[in-house]
Chains A and B, each alone.
Chain A
């Protein structure tokens, strides 16, 4: 049976849930409805457009189940922080991390290639998470401030992150924040060119968790 065009649907989900979270959601539904054939069809039709989805589909075809999120490692890396600015977004991971950081002021950098509805995205947190623009994020700098981003496909000392990280984690701001945390969320290498993402040296983070 031919697979319907899911390109636009995946973009909607990836915009407001994050690429990895959306990928597992779609992979689970595809697996339940179409089985391995549907998963392979999705890889063939959408894999090159959405490399994170491709990697998750490959994992699903290998028999992997939707992984549970353990945020304790990330919470440990955030110890002592009073302000945390999250660059990029993965709904399942942010949802898991927040209860472990009850006293930390958390904000999302409101900048993304997928143009999400930030108001709706943040309304899921009932005021617990704020938003900050690229122009203003340095106001959140300080000796107890940190930046967190999600790393995809960390292997051999490098990984892939959203392009915004290159701006906020650049040399000119490294002295303004205490921590630069990378959280590996994909758990496997890419099979196709990692479109939407840029390669970074994992050594540029003060802490990498989940790798």
Chain B
């Protein structure tokens, strides 16, 4: 290993560990790491900073921003809250059905919109329902935990659901329909396995199921939303625009030169122009600058590592391992899932995609990429801190003060751990099974 390879890899590693250890300063830490990477690459590999900036996948950042704004527009239609109320009615406030309806619902929603926005709008309704039902700690833990895993699975189901898949799409590793047709069925299998596992655990066993409780819960929720109406003037064109975006992602050939980022940008611009004043306010105040800067810093650090030739070195080393080529891919995916569990999906995917691209030259690319997306998804589900949705759910739950027995429900790292382990196991097993069958 050369000095350049060592220095750039060390900066990346230290930055990732530091941002995981001190999340309150994570943006400062990764931006400082990116600065160090630019210096190191410039001095040790003669790669100018401008060259590293040129390698940043700006299309990925455009998709992240555009879909984030699109989610904000959808959120402002009040559709999420009312959907959650409909889910409550559909479940007839039966704890077991409620869990399944919300888990499946979050999976579906997360495939299309930012899962943080969806959680922020759906969780308050669910937390109120948990209070109205007199839910137990065990039920609170498994319901919220399974929802988080479902969010991750939904995000991995489509190429626009979450950052790892967006990165695959943006980097041109896979086409929209190519990814969708292979990842969607796998995530559905994992979701089915998750629900089966939850069914066996019976988290609802100690939560009241009397008809009186259900009547009161449904009656109250109905009253809480008695006058809330969907903003149809905004929702209808937004849904049409979303449909058009999906059609464009699926059908527009690459030869037209209209990439996924242009489709996402055009769709977001269209819905923002529906109400120009509101759209302008969203663009000014709701762009997720934190996510953009975080990803930019990661891309720069990964770019410096790439410029030093470290990924090539790893890719050359993998085939020398004394195991079969198929086992090498599986080992890579297991490591990828654990890296993601510690460093979260963005850093995990950004750092590992280059290695995956090398593996994809020797194995069916779709198997490697979809396998990687599922491994990253599994890692995101292992710990509460592995994805940003986890701490958000924790904060909302603590703030809601759901009473369970003599205390208040908690949803911390160790509460989530059993659910996370189940989610990790079923998702990773599905991914490995898919790769095993495809190679």
Contacts and interface: CB of A to CB of B under 8 A. Distances in A.
Interface string B179-212: 0000000000000000000000000000010111
B227 A29 contact: no
A68 interface: no
A95 B124 CA distance: 23
A21 B208 CA distance: 24
Interface stretch (B128-136, B165-173, B311-319): B128-136
Contacts of A203: none
Interface residues of A, number: 30
Interface string A25-44: 11001101110001000000
A29 B131 CA distance: 17
Contact of B217 (A9, A21, A30): A9
B246 to A, nearest CB: 29
A123 B228 contact: yes
B134 A5 contact: yes
Contact of A9 (B134, B224, B226, B229): B134
Contacts of B131: 8-9, 11-12
B44 to A, nearest CB: 52
Contact of A117 (B124, B208, B210): B124
A91 interface: yes
Contacts of B78: 123
B438 interface: no
Contacts of A9: 131-134, 213, 216-217, 220
B81 interface: yes
Interface in A80-121: 91, 95, 117, 120
Contact of A13 (B220, B225, B228, B229): B220
Contacts of A120: 81, 124, 224-225, 228
A6 interface: yes
B219 A25 contact: yes
Interface string B130-154: 0111100000000000000000000
Given A17-B223, A120-B124, A124-B228, A29 B132 contact: no
Contacts of B134: 4-6, 8-9
B215 interface: yes
Interface string B361-388: 0000000000000000000000000000
B26 interface: no
Contacts of A164: none
Given A5-B134, A117-B124, A91 B216 contact: no
Interface bracket on B: 20 to 34
A16 interface: yes
A33 B225 contact: no
A193 interface: no
B403 interface: yes
A191 interface: no
A67 interface: no
Nearest to A128: B227
Nearest to A22: B220
A126 B227 contact: yes
Interface centre among B128, B212, B213, by most chain A C-beta atoms within 10 angstroms, is: B212
Contacts of B210: 4
B227 A4 contact: no
B399 to A, nearest CB: 9
A95 B216 contact: no
Interface string A141-167: 000000000000000000000000000
A7 B216 CA distance: 12
**Nearest 7 CB-CB pairs, A to B?**
A124-B227, A33-B212, A9-B132, A13-B220, A8-B403, A4-B208, A29-B215
19 contacts: A4-B208, A4-B210, A8-B403, A9-B134, A11-B131, A12-B132, A12-B220, A13-B224, A17-B223, A29-B219, A33-B215, A91-B226, A95-B227, A120-B225, A120-B228, A123-B78, A123-B81, A124-B226, A124-B228
Given A6-B216, A120-B124, 4 more contacts: A13-B216, A29-B219, A33-B215, A123-B227
